[in-house]
Amino acid sequence: MKPLILVDENIPEAELYFGPLGRVQRFAGRNLSARDIGDAKALIVRSVTKVDASLLSASQVEFVGTCTIGTDHVDQQWLVSQGLGFSSAPGCNANSVVEYVIAALAYAEVDWQNLSFGIIGCGNVGGSVYRALSSLGADVMAYDPLIDQQAFPNMGSLSQVLTRDVICIHAPLTRVGEFPTHHVIAEAELMQLKPGALLISAGRGAVVDNEALLTVKKLRPDVKLVLDVWAHEPWVCPALLAQVIIGTPHIAGYSWDGKVTGTRMIAEALAHFWGGTVPSEAELGAAVSNQLMPLPMSSDAWQQVREAILQSYNIAGDDQRLRAMVAKAQGKEEIERGFDVLRRHYPERREFRFSQPIVKPADPAAIRCLETLGFSFL
């Protein structure tokens, strides 16, 4: 009999990619307990499942995979001590987060050519955001004391980065070490932001002190917030949600393409661990592309770019669904359940490379911008 593979219900195409390796059984990620593991030999999770001794010590699990970039939900030290295999999916959804940031800027009518950007955390995701903004002609500075300071042309201190017009936070959540990131952005740091600054948090919620955000917003109403992550997920503080221009339920990296990439990366890692291989996408018949999307264009060059972005990725819809859920919820537990429902039933979102404007802009700069973002033209 094939080995049992437990797979989070929010991981797409699991049957397609893990099916050749074993029997796939789905589970609700946030509710998984030790008694649910059964005779599973592999456990495939996302960030909502805490994987440690209390979950797996009595199990037969040999391999743990997380279809995410972040790994703070996995006790890797314990896995190593038990001789268990482990793999994450670094970079799988980095482009999805880049496009979330770009869509947030378009929604906020931020012209990246005329503003300065600061990136806090410049690993797989933050580095991709850095490169994308730089390729668009933006002035970008990064802060990340844990990477080679020569890795990017313009590295600075945290204080220097906080003086920028737009701050993008993509640091992983750590609580120990020389540079822990838990509440690395607190009240003192938020008060350093320049007038009218925009802060985008799309990494881990507790990197930013959410209580401090509420305090500072009272003192600094000029500061604008975009939050995809929240300190106490799946709880979303209604008072804080009311203060942001965009609020979403931890879905920045939830493009269909990014999630499927993560699925395949972990399936390949599991196959390698068990001494096998995953069939190619052609052999599997994997449906990883869709019909290009025609997009109407306006006459103004900047509006052409903005309209293409927002029609390709309707970030306003993500914001509206979260606000509607929180407004309707009766208490904390309903908000927490609603948060997970929004993630579980997230609409299929394709990346910009699958969008094709039907009218080519007259402005060469607009063409270059859209092509840099991945759009193509008839």
Confirm or deny that 228 is annotated as ligand binding: yes
Q: Contact, 234 vs 340, CB < 8 A?
A: yes
Which amino acid, one-letter code, is at 189? E
Nearest to 31 by CA among 55, 12, 14: 55
Please indicate whether residue 9 is annotated as part of the active site.
no
Catalytic residue, chosen from 73, 170, 183, 250, is: 250
Residue 218 phi, psi (nearest 5): -70, -35
For tokens 């995701």, name the residue: 125
Active site residue 204: yes
SS3 readout for 282-323: HHHCCCCCCCCEEECCCCCHHHHHHHHHHHHCCHHHHHHHHH
47 is in an annotated binding site: yes
What residue type is assigned to position 272 of the chain? H
Q: Which of 164, 170, 183, 204 is catalytic?
A: 204
Measured between alpha carbons, how far is 31 from 359 in angstroms, rounded to an integer? Answer: 48
**Residue 250 known to be catalytic:** yes
Instruction: Copy the structure tokens of residue 340.
Output: 């997970």
Annotated ligand binding at 144? The verdict is yes
Q: Choose, from 13, 99, 233, 351, the residue flagged as catalytic.
A: 233
Annotated binding site for substrate: 47, 68, 254
Annotated binding site: 47, 68, 144, 228, 253-254
Annotated binding site for NAD(+): 144, 228, 253
Residues annotated as part of the active site:
204, 233, 250
